[in-house]
Amino acid sequence: MEVVEKIMEKSPYKHVNRKFVEKLAGLIKSDIEEEKVKLVRAKLRKISTSALSMKFYKKFKTLEFSKEVLDMHRSTRERADIYSWLISKIEKSGKIIDLGCGFNLLAFYYNEFLPAEYKGYDIDEAVIQFVNRFAHEKKLNAEVESRDVSEIEFEQSDVYLCLKIFDALEDVEKNVAKTILGKISKKTKLIIASFSNISLSGRGQLRERTWFEKMLQELGLKFTKESQGNEIFYFIES
Ligand SMILES: C[S@@+](CC[C@H](N)C(=O)[O-])C[C@H]1O[C@@H](n2cnc3c(N)ncnc32)[C@H](O)[C@@H]1O
């Protein structure tokens, strides 16, 4: 059996975008196949699937929608108290593009915000199916797509959301955040990016911000920042 098939043999890995798994399998080097399967799965957990419980992956096709489902996703759960603040920063915008979207559309809806137009991208196809079923059921002008955001063509949009996504992207490909920000800053007036303030070592926080801020300066992008809950938000204007 091919290594990609082995990686994707079981849940939650079988729900990840196949092209993305192939890319990781190409980047992660190991002569021992079992070892490679383990390393790729560990990376997938780190940058994607660990945000959700196995219960979600078992039930997402039929799971009923309610505010409680927001608790299933680590990021929306941790952000529960600050969505109204975040929405106040974006609700007057027209079109929103959300990179590594997770459950944000559901969080907006249950916090009484219906974007005029919403487009999201994520590599987790269980999330994609779940959010598209939600958008359809609630008749929203919204769509999400299974795509690796480091490989897409960026459209014009009033706002770009990049919430807790750059760590995952940089974990796979160094400097990809700079390439993406360089491109999207030409397609929008406002980018909202965020990072988790929680780091296991307790030392990660400062390093991340320095790295990101230096990059924004190199791109000539002006920003303001604000800490809310466990997250630091950057408002980048171009
Ligand atoms: C920490 S979660 C944040 C989710 C959401 N942005 C939020 O803050 O609530 C990171 C998300 O990015 C997605 N992701 C990771 N790498 C990606 C990539 N290259 N392209 C698209 N999505 C990606 C993961 O599947 C996961 O849903």
Task: Spell out the per-residue pLDDT of the chain, length 238, in tens.
Answer: 699 999 999 999 999 999 999 999 999 999 899 999 999 999 999 999 999 999 999 999 999 999 999 999 999 999 999 999 999 999 887 999 999 999 999 999 999 999 999 999 999 999 999 999 999 999 999 999 999 999 999 999 999 999 999 999 999 999 999 999 999 999 999 999 999 987 655 555 545 578 999 999 999 999 999 999 989 999 999 8
Any domain includes 58: no
Any domain includes 133: yes
Query: Structure pTM?
Result: 0.95
Residue of minimum CA distance from atom 13 in ligand 1:
100
Any domain includes 56: no
Residue of minimum CA distance from atom 11 in ligand 1:
100
Mutate to test the pocket of ligand 1, among 60, 70, 165, 192 (most ligand atoms within 8 A of CB): 165
Any domain includes 54: no
- Cα dihedral 79, 81, 86, 91 in deg (nearest 10): 120
Same domain, 37 and 153: no
**Which of 89, 81, 83, 146 minimizes the C-alpha distance to 109?**
83
Q: At what angle do helices 33-47 and 18-27 cross, to 10 degrees?
A: 120
Same domain, 117 and 205: yes
The domain containing residue 23 runs over which residues? 3-47
Same domain, 156 and 96: yes
**Which of 104, 154, 128 minimizes the C-alpha distance to 16?**
128
Same domain, 196 and 221: yes
Same domain, 34 and 120: no
Q: Is 163 in the pocket of ligand 1 (CB under 6 A)?
A: yes
Same domain, 121 and 187: yes
Q: Is 102 in the pocket of ligand 1 (CB under 6 A)?
A: yes
User: How many structural domains comprise the chain?
Assistant: 2
